[in-house]
Structures are given as structure tokens and as C-alpha cells.
A and B are shown apart, each in its own frame.
Chain A
Amino acid sequence: MGDHQQRVILAKLGLDGHDRGIKVVARILRDAGMEVIYLGLRQTTASIVAAAEEEDADAIGLSMHNAGHLTLGPKMAEAITAAGLDIPLIIGGIVPDEDVEELMNTGIAAVLGPGASAEEVVATVQDAISARDKA
């Protein structure tokens, strides 16, 4: 599937209005040649799952800046699995180091912090997609 155009959904869940980071990530992924389906603010797990189905997304990126990652992150992962979708979920934003392991244990493919470079962002998304494709 070398010619497959990668499609990534980017969204923020619930009450979290900090959207500078997600806009930067959208641009980074676009400039890396990906198609970004930008859902923006105040999404629900159901609206993200519906969009992922309709758009046949290869990955879902969730931006979190409200300290709700330990609650909402696993909930999102659960919703994706419950819908029978096999799509990697990547969380970006403000996530303390000590929370990363717990997130990774609850079905989240990767966590990107504020210091991540453009190259890291792209590599993380690509790795998550190829890990899924191999599985």
C-alpha cells in the first residue's frame, strides 16, 4: 500500500478550548503530505468515531490541554474499540511524564508532548499507522 494517501483525524474532546497546538499539528501533517480531517473543538467520542468511519481514517489525533487525558484518553480508545475500528489513537498536548505509561497501557498508541519537533510528530503518526497495518 505504498501509494495509499494517509488520512488523519484531529480533534479536541469536550470542554477544552486550547486549539493553537492542534492547528500547528494539522499544518505539520499537511506539509508532510497527509490529508488532515480537522474536526476542531468540542467533539464527543461518538462524533469522532462517526467521522473516523465516514472518512476511513488511518489515525486519530486527540489534543488535550485540560488535564482530562487520564479520563478522556482511555474513554476515546474504548469507544474506538467498541465500534470495532482498528485505528491508532495518538494523544498530544499537556500530559505529565508519569501519566504516559498509564495511557499507553489503555490502548493509546503514542503520546506527544509540547517539546515534540515537526519530524517527531510526523514519525509518530506514521509509525502508529504502520504498526497497525502490520498487526
Chain B
Amino acid sequence: MTSSSDAATALFKSAVKGERRSLGKLLTAIERGGDQAEIIAGLAHQVSGNTHVVGITGAPGSGKSTLTGRLLKLFSEAGDKLAVLAVDPSSPLTGGAILGDRIRMDDLAGEESFIRSMATRGHSGGLALAVPAAIQLFDAVGYEPVIIETVGVGQVEVDVAGAADTTVVVVTPGMGDAVQANKAGLLEVADIFVVNKSDRPGASDARRDLELMLDLGHVSGLEQMTGYRPPIIMANSLEGTGADEVLDAIKSHAEYLRNSGKIHIRQKDRLVMEIQNRIELLIGSTASHILESDLGANSITKVLDRKISPAEAAKSIVGSIIASE
């Protein structure tokens, strides 16, 4: 335990000095989870809280990586030393993954920038812990901003992107009509909308549907509640058009968060969410252990015999966890 703690501290110190390979190894440890990951996240947390976190999300194939590549180039040219965390799905069958986001970014990356690919991996909630820890690590080592690129398919992925300071939602023409745009979900977490592939037919329809959705937010009072109306930017990431507007929008949103003091709320929300995720995982794993024990077997039998309901069984198991603490 002590030696693993020493090893983590040594790697962390070396990463802070700018040793990229150490940062790569720390990220591997964070992804693996467990004690080592907690030590590293703890070290990073002490000195983090400075960087601006940008989440980029949207449907598969909407052009998130290509847009991220463009932003990488623009930020690098402006002298920013940024980190990108690109999340791709793992195969639920084999646990393997093809992480292909770098092919759209490598040419455009400055030497100072750092790109890491991360697979969602199977274990429940793993991503929910690994992503915030990776953000804190990049933050602690001095990367600014940190871009998280994730497929907006699952709730965890939406949470992860939505927990950013600035969330960019990428949509493409033909994603559905105005009713789709009004459904709750991904679109609600957006601080900036990008209509990508804007050369395609239907791009102006997509823009109109989003405008309409935001107008309805004005009518319903949502806009007044948040005090902010997300801009909609037309982009063609393959050609690079619109990327500079996205960059400006990210910077103005960051300024808006700072001036309104909302940045503190976002940062707090992110940490509260992380604590909550960790609580759920801790209780979840303890509950799994209990389920496998005699007590659990007893409860399961009672449920099977229709003597108690699944809800009552769950309550009694949680009750026994609280009693044992």
C-alpha cells in the first residue's frame, strides 16, 4: 500500500514537471480503478479547480472528433496547452474497443497538447469515476482547457459531457423534426449548439428546429430561469468552417460563467455529482457482497416465496449496510 502510494506520488510529481509518459501511466492507473486510482485522484484534486472543462457530445458520426480536431488546432495556435479526452464505446461482448478518434485529430494537434483515448469499459460506473479523475489530473498538471469528447448515447455519457463547464452539442441535418428537438435529454444540457455538415440538405431546417426549441424555452420560462440562450453555430468541420465561431462561443460562455458567478455552481455540481457517484458505487458493491452472502440468499428466498417484495428486500439490505457502518 505504501509502496503503491509512493509510486503514484513519484509519477504525479514527474507528470507535473511535464513528463508526458508519466501522465500516460497515471491515466492508465485511473482507468484501472482501485486504491492506486484513488490516491492519484486525491493528489490531483488538491491542486485542481483551475481549468475550463469543455464537453463535446452528440450522436455517433455527427462529427465530434473532426470538430474537436479543429478546436485543437485553433487553441494550439492561440498558445493554449490543452488536453483532449476522447471516449469511445467498449464492446459489451468482448470488452475490446477500437478507439479511432485520434485519426481526426493527430494532424492538427500542437506539440504541447495531449490526447488520450478512453474506452467506456464494462464495469458499472467506471466511466463516471475515471472521467472526473482524468479531468482533475489534466487540470493539476496544467492543461487548459480540457476537452471531453463523448458519444451522447448513454446516461453516463450525457452526465459526463453535461458536467462540463461548457457543453457543446453537435447535431447534423436530418436528425429529426421539431418534436425530436423538444424531447428532453441531450439537447437540454447544451450551452452551445453546432449544426455540423452544414453543406448537407436540411441544415437550415435543423437550425430552424433548434431555434424554435429555444424560442419555446423562452415562452415556457426556462430561458429566464437559466438566463442564457445557447448560440447555434453552422459548421463544416471537414472544411474547417465554423470552428472559429465555436471557439469564440466557448470563450464567451466561459466569460459568462465567470461574470455571473455560475462557474462556481458548475464546479460544485461536478464535485457533488462525483461524490454521489462514488457513494452509489460504494453502496452498490457492498450490496452485491451482501446479496452473495447468507443474508442475501435468505432475502432472495423470501422474495421467491412471495413473502416479501423486491423493494422490501432491497430496503432491508440497505438497512443492514447502514447498521454495519
Contacts and interface: CB of A to CB of B under 8 A. Distances in A.
A37 interface: yes
What is the interface residue range for chain A against chain B? 20 to 34
B102 A36 contact: no
Contacts, number: 74
A78 interface: no
B20 A53 contact: yes
B106 interface: yes
A15 interface: no
A36 B90 CA distance: 10
B103 A40 contact: yes
Nearest to B100: A38
Interface residues of A, dominant DSSP: mixed
Interface stretch (B27-35, B56-64, B175-183, B292-300): B27-35
Contacts of B23: 54
Nearest to B106: A47
Contacts of A31: 91, 94, 96
B98 A85 contact: no
A30 B103 CA distance: 17
A103 to B, nearest CB: 26
B102 A5 contact: no
Contacts of A29: 96
B116 interface: yes
Interface in A17-73: 26-27, 29-41, 43, 47, 50-51, 53-56
Given A30-B91, A33-B94, A56 B100 contact: no
Contacts of B91: 30-31
B247 interface: no
A7 B99 CA distance: 10
- Secondary structure at chain B's binding surface: helix, strand, loop or mixed? mixed
B115 A36 contact: no
Nearest to A48: B106
B289 interface: no
A119 interface: no
B282 interface: no
B121 interface: yes
Given A31-B94, A35-B97, A38-B100, A3 B32 contact: yes
B91 to A, nearest CB: 6
Interface string B22-50: 01110110011000000000000000000
A133 to B, nearest CB: 14
B102 A37 contact: yes
A32 B95 CA distance: 8
Contacts of B100: 38, 40
B116 A32 contact: no
B103 to A, nearest CB: 4
A4 interface: yes
Given A5-B32, A5-B121, A30-B94, A54 B115 contact: yes
Contacts of A84: 21
B21 A36 contact: no
A75 B28 CA distance: 27
Nearest to B115: A54
B86 to A, nearest CB: 10
A96 B23 CA distance: 39
18 contacts: A3-B32, A7-B28, A26-B98, A29-B96, A32-B94, A33-B94, A33-B96, A36-B98, A37-B102, A37-B117, A38-B100, A38-B102, A38-B103, A43-B106, A47-B106, A51-B102, A53-B24, A56-B27
Interface of A: 3-5, 7, 26-27, 29-41, 43, 47, 50-51, 53-56, 84-85
Closest 3 CB pairs of A and B: A30-B96, A56-B24, A40-B103
